[in-house]
Amino acid sequence: MNQLANAFGQKFTENKDSLRIKSFELNGHTFKVKVPLTSETDAMFERVKIIDEAKAQKYYEDMSKEFLDNRAKYENDPDIKYLDDDIEVKGTSIKETSRNKVLTENRITELVRLLVPENKDFDMASISYADIEELFPFSIQMELIEQINSVISPNYTATKGK
């Protein structure tokens, strides 16, 4: 324990983690979030950046299947370009889109892992994006992430109460 924590006394030291827990309500359910320390946030952002190339490739194959199976149909479409190892649709790379999908899933997973489970024995680090996707549709995932973000890093308006 550092000198500042010791200055607040034994009771603070025992309860310091509970000071980092904040809550929000979403559609009638109260969620608790453990606000990460700077070092935890940095580690989380590093994990978010790791792209599972096999998963990205699988998404690419799924997203490009229609264009590959029906290449003759799309060959003369000006919005679709067939490259050596990619397909661009209206200037957007399907390969890049598949990689962004993996990054988005990573971000959602890392932020949901900040939630404090009511079951104290449950380890949130064990959850995967598949678990989240099974429980919440994408639109609810986005709402949940927005709420978690506002709790862990409130914007100026929330801080000032305006």
pLDDT in tens, the chain (162 residues): 678 777 887 777 777 778 889 999 999 999 999 999 999 999 999 999 999 999 999 999 999 999 999 999 998 999 999 999 999 999 999 999 999 999 999 999 999 999 999 998 999 999 999 999 999 999 999 999 999 999 998 764 555 555
Give CB contacts under 8 A, 24+ apart, made by 106-109: 106/47, 106/48, 106/49, 106/50, 106/51, 107/48, 107/145, 108/132, 108/141, 108/145
Residue-level pLDDT at 7: 82
Residue-level pLDDT at 111: 97
Residue of 18, 45, 23 whose CA lies nearest to 148: 23
Residue-level pLDDT at 159: 53
CA–CA dist 23, 32 (Å, integer): 4
Residue-level pLDDT at 161: 54
Residue-level pLDDT at 1: 60
**Domain boundaries along the sequence of the chain:** 15-148
Residue-level pLDDT at 158: 54
* 0.75 surpassed by pTM: yes
